[in-house]
Every structure is written in C-alpha cells, then in structure tokens.
C-alpha cells in the first residue's frame, strides 16, 4: 500500500493541507511544536481511526472548529487507486469511508491501511507493563487473522461482565460467564501463539540484519494462566481470590511476551542501543510477515528517530525499509538530519512551521 495524496483538515495546528507524497520516503522537518508530528498523527488517524498522542478528540481538533478530517488516495500493489477518509466531530460522531462507502466498524476500517508507528515511546516496551507488549503482538495478529478482532472484542465484553459479577457476588452469573470466557479466551490465546510461531523466522532474520553480533534472542508467549490447566480450570482455581479482589486474575488479558538472551531478560543484558535495535527488528519482522501472508506493505511513521538511533543505525534501518518496499514518513528538526542518509531521488522533503508546510518539494495549502 502507498499513500499517494493526503488531505488534512483541522488536525491541531494543521488547518488545511494537501500533500502529494513520495512512494519511498517523506521527511517533515521543523522545530518542536511546529506541527510535524501532527502530520504523522493525521496519517495515524487515517490508518487506525485514532490518535497516538491523545484520547480526547477535543484536544486534536483545531480550536473553534467543529470537526477534523483526513482523506487519502491509496494505491495498492496492483496499481489500483482508491479513496479512504475519516471525519471526527466534537460531539463524538465518527464517519469512516473506504472507496466512498461508509464503514460501520472501526476494526474493518483499520485493516485497509496497515501502518507501524515507531516513536521514542516505542523503545520503552521492554521495560513497560505487559499491556504494551500485548499491543505489539496483537497488531500483527489483527492484520493476519481476520477473526482475531471480533474474538478479542468478545473476550473483553465477557471479562467486563465477569468482573461485574465478581464485585456483585452473584455465583449463578459467574458460572455462565466462566464457560464463555474460557472458551473465547482459549481461542484468543491460540491465535496469539500461532502468530508468534509463524513470526519467529522473520524475527530471527531481522535480528541477524540489525544485531548481527548478538546471539539469537528467545521470544516466548506467556498465556496469562498456568497452561498445565485449561483456562476453565484456571478460572475455577482462582475463583476465591478473584471474589476477594473483585477482578479476574487469570486469562489472556494477563498475557505477556518473554524475551530472553541466554536465559536473562533482554532489558537487563542488552545495551540501550541494542534494545532499540531489537524492538525495531520486531516491528520490521511483523511487516515482513504481513507481506508474506497477505501481500500488504506497511506504512512506517518514524517520529524523532534521530534522537534514538545513531547515524549508522539510522542508515541501516532506512536501507532495510527501502529494500522491503515500505513507504516511510519521518520527522526531524532539520533537513540535514536526513539529507545525509536518504538519496535525493528517493525522498520528498517538507518544512513545517506554525502549522504551515513550506514547499521544499511539494506542499499545496488548500
């Protein structure tokens, strides 16, 4: 997938911008607060349906505007072009369209334009809570297993209902929720385990490219309960504890990914720079696996990469992304940050200042 054209309306300080984009690298430069990250945010809205910077839509829509909108022209691998768009209103209404037709489910909309976001926060996943590692894993499962999204939503609904029954101490309701929760939870765990098994060859190959001197890192899915037991038995075993605390303590919502090097957590034995390269390898491996499964290429949004990787590793990463055929969007403070590592014929550069994109290559204020 390639994003040929992007129209941004009322996203933070970007009031009305139309961009014609490069199929390889698009670089947005400017001082902090200029609006360059807001361009990535607009693309993220177009691909995922939500911001990666804020939960409340009010903080994203330009001041005194009723709505924001992002529209794009997409070209698939066959060269066919189609439109995609999203509008979000202050009152909460959301309108998503693909090929001019309204999408009623956000999960359906989010499959159209797969994208990977790498920000300085992404490199903290090794030391964050297990929820962040589940999100990383679930991105891949969502894009390769069509049933995963609905299974995940159903599990979370059942989990909410069981937790409510635990708080209300209603034994008759618990029995009903436990049966369904166990069944759906086992399926959810199976999707994740199968995905990680299929991902491993891609991950090891990517580690060899980004961390060639490092021994193979072991990556293991931890289900969230003692897998010597069925989930139904694990729920029954934990019932008295769950009643005491008022929430469900076992299940795939407690899952994690264990990453070790010779038996030690990678966050303890790899240097800070090596940790960043390992996380980057995970993102790239997921994109390669998606391409192998469904023939889809990702868009990459790389925010402030120059502050996280040295020039040699920036160049290595960008060469890999280019070789894989992904379209890349990057931010930096100055154009010089990227002129040294991306050949002129493979890039388009924009300068952002106070919400206006100055046309280093091609930016058209509407």
Domain assignment present for 28: yes
Per-residue pLDDT of the chain (366 residues; tens, 9 = 90+): 899 999 999 999 999 999 999 999 999 998 888 899 999 999 999 999 999 999 889 999 999 999 999 999 999 888 899 999 999 999 999 999 999 999 988 989 999 999 999 988 888 899 999 999 999 999 999 999 999 999 999 999 999 999 999 998 877 778 888 999 999 999 999 999 999 999 999 999 999 999 999 999 999 999 999 999 999 999 999 999 999 999 999 999 999 999 999 999 999 999 988 999 999 999 999 999 999 999 889 999 999 888 888 888 888 899 899 888 899 999 988 888 788 788 889 999 999 988 888 766 544 443
* Residue 121 CA: distances (Å) to CA of 19, 126, 134: 27, 11, 15
Per the structure block, which two tokens stand in for 358? 């100055």
What global pTM score does this model have? 0.91
Based on the structure, what is the number of domains in the chain? 1
> Is 100 flagged in the annotation as binding?
no
Domain assignment present for 38: yes
> Is 36 flagged in the annotation as binding?
yes
> How far from the centroid of its chain's Cα atoms is residue 355's Cα?
25
Domain assignment present for 63: yes
343 phi and psi angles, rounded to 5 deg: -60, 145
> Is 30 flagged in the annotation as binding?
yes
Per the structure block, which two tokens stand in for 323? 């070789």
- For residues 107 and 148, the answer to whether their CB atoms sit within 8 Å is no
CA distance 158 to 176: 10
Per the structure block, which two tokens stand in for 240? 């008295």
SS3 256: strand
Domain that holds residue 95: 1-114+296-366
Domain assignment present for 68: yes
Domain assignment present for 49: yes
Closest CA to 35 of 59, 11, 2, 63: 11
CATH value at residue 340: 3.40.50.300
> Is 104 flagged in the annotation as binding?
no
> Is 271 flagged in the annotation as binding?
no
Domain assignment present for 150: no
Q: Which residue has the tokens 């829509």?
A: 61
CA distance 79 to 99: 15
> Is 32 flagged in the annotation as binding?
yes
Domain assignment present for 75: yes
Strand-strand pairing, 347-353 and 256-261: unpaired
Domain assignment present for 219: no
């Amino acid at each position: 997938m390639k994003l040929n054209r992007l129209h941004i309306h009322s996203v933070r300080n970007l009031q009305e911008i139309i961009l014609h984009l490069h199929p390889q690298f698009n670089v947005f430069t400017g001082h902090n607060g200029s609006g360059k990250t807001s361009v990535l945010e607009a693309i993220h809205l177009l691909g995922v349906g939500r911001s990666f910077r804020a939960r409340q839509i009010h903080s994203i829509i330009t001041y005194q505007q009723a709505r924001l909108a992002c529209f794009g022209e997409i070209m698939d691998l066959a060269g066919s072009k189609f439109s995609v768009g999203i509008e979000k209103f202050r009152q909460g209404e959301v309108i998503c369209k693909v090929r001019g037709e309204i999408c009623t489910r956000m999960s359906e909309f989010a499959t159209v334009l797969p994208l990977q976001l790498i920000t300085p926060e992404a490199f903290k996943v090794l030391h964050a809570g297990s929820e962040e590692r589940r999100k990383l894993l679930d991105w891949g499962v969502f894009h390769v297993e069509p049933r995963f999204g609905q299974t995940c939503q159903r599990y979370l609904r059942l989990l909410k209902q069981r937790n409510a029954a635990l708080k209300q101490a209603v034994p008759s309701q618990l029995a009903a929720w436990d049966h369904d929760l166990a069944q759906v939870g086992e399926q959810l765990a199976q999707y994740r385990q199968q995905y990680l098994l299929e991902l491993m060859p891609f991950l090891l190959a990517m580690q060899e490219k980004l961390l060639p001197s490092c021994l193979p890192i072991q990556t293991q899915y931890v289900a969230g309960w003692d897998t010597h037991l069925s989930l139904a038995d694990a729920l029954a075993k934990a019932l008295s504890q769950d009643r005491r605390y008022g929430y469900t303590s076992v299940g795939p919502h407690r899952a994690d990914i264990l990453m070790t090097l010779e038996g030690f957590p990678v966050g303890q034995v790899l240097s800070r720079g090596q940790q960043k390269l390992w996380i980057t390898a995970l993102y790239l491996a997921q994109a390669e696996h998606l391409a192998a499964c469904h023939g889809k290429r990702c868009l990459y949004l790389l925010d402030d990469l120059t502050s996280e990787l040295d020039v040699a590793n920036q160049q290595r990463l960008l060469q890999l992304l280019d070789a894989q055929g992904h379209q890349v969007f990057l931010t930096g403070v100055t154009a010089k940050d990227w002129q040294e590592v991306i050949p002129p014929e493979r890039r388009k550069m924009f300068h952002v200042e106070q919400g206006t994109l100055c046309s280093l290559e091609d930016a058209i204020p509407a």
